Amino acid sequence: MKKAIIVGGGLAGGLTAIYLAKRGYEVHVVEKRGDPLQDLSSYVDVVSSRAIGVSMTVRGIKSVLAAGIPRAELEACGEPIVAMAFSVGGQHRMRPLKPLEDFRPLSLNRAAFQKLLNKYANLAGVRYYFEHKCLDVDLDGKSVLIQGPDGLPQRLQGDMIVGADGAHSAVRQAMQSGLRRFEFQQTFFRHGYKTLVLPDAGALGYRKDTLYFFGMDSGGQFAGRAATIPDGSVSIAICLPYSGSPSLTTTDESVMRAFFDRYFGGLPQDAREEMLRQFLAKPSNDLINVRSSTFHYKGNVLLLGDAAHATAPFLGQGMNMALEDARAFVELLDRHQGIRTRPFPSSPSCARCRRTRCRTWRAPTTTCSAAPTPSSSCGPATPATCIASFPAFTRRIWRRSCISRRNRTTGCSRSRESRTFGTR
pLDDT mean over 222-228:
90
Question: When comparing pLDDT for 395 and 108, which is higher?
Answer: 108
Kindly tell me if the per-residue pLDDT of 183 is higher than 90. Answer: no
The predicted pLDDT at position 63 comes to: 97
pLDDT number for residue 400: 37
CA–CA separation, 225 and 238 (whole Å): 7
Amino acid 42: pLDDT: 72
User: Residue 372: what pLDDT?
Assistant: 34
**Which one has a higher pLDDT value, 290 or 375?**
290
Is the pLDDT higher at 401 or at 174? 174
Q: What percent of the chain has pLDDT over 70?
A: 76
pLDDT tier for residue 376 given thresholds of 50, 70 and 90 = very low
Pairing of strands 184-198, 234-241: antiparallel
State the pLDDT at residue 150: 94
State how far Cα 183 lies from the chain centre.
Answer: 21
Residue-level pLDDT at 398: 35
Note if the bond before 246 is cis, omega within 30 degrees: yes
Strands (E), 15-124: 26-31, 53-56, 78-80, 83-88, 91-96, 106-109
Task: Work out the mean pLDDT of the chain and round it to a whole number.
Answer: 80
User: Burial letters for 226-263: b for 16+ Cβ neighbours within 10 Å, e otherwise?
Assistant: bbbbeeebbbbbbbbbeeeebbbebeeeeebeebbeeb
Question: What is the dihedral angle through the alpha carbons of 261, 262, 266, 271, rounded to the nearest 10 degrees?
Answer: -30
Residue 192, phi then psi, degrees to nearest 5: -130, -165
CB atoms within 10 A of CB 339: 11
Mean pLDDT on 180-195:
87
291-295, 297-301, 368-372: least confident range = 368-372
Which amino acid appears at position 62 of this protein? Answer: K
Q: Is the Cα torsion angle 53, 61, 339, 129 positive or negative in sign?
A: positive
Q: Is 341 exposed, middle or buried (0-12, 13-18, 19+ CB in 10 A)?
A: exposed
pLDDT tens-place string over residues 362-373 = 333 333 333 333
pLDDT average, residue stretch 150-179: 93
What three-state secondary structure class fits 80? strand
The pLDDT of residue 277 is 96
Return the beta strands (E) in 10-168 as ranges. Answer: 26-31, 53-56, 78-80, 83-88, 91-96, 106-109, 127-130, 133-138, 143-147, 153-157, 160-163
* Structural contact between residues 31 and 82, judged by C-beta atoms closer than 8 angstroms: no
Of 12-21, 66-75, 354-363, the range with the lowest mean pLDDT is 354-363
- Nearest Cα neighbor of 13 from 142, 153, 130, 186 is 130
Half-sphere exposure of 74 (CA within 13 A, CB side): 23
Comparing CA positions, the residue from 379, 263, 323 lying closest to residue 66 is 323
> Cα–Cα–Cα angle for 223, 53, 193, nearest 5°?
35
The band of 390, judged by pLDDT with boundaries at 50, 70 and 90, is very low
Structure letter (DSSP) for residue 352: G
Residue bearing the bigger pLDDT, 52 or 146 = 146
Confirm if 80 and 105 have CB atoms less than 8 A apart. yes
Which pLDDT score, from 0 to 100, does residue 341 have?
A: 63
How confident is the model over 368-390, as a mean pLDDT? 33
pLDDT of residue 291: 85
CA distance 239 to 356: 29
pTM confidence score: 0.77
The helix/strand/coil state of 81 is: coil
Give the per-residue pLDDT at 419. 33
Average pLDDT over residues 282-300: 88
pLDDT of residue 391: 37
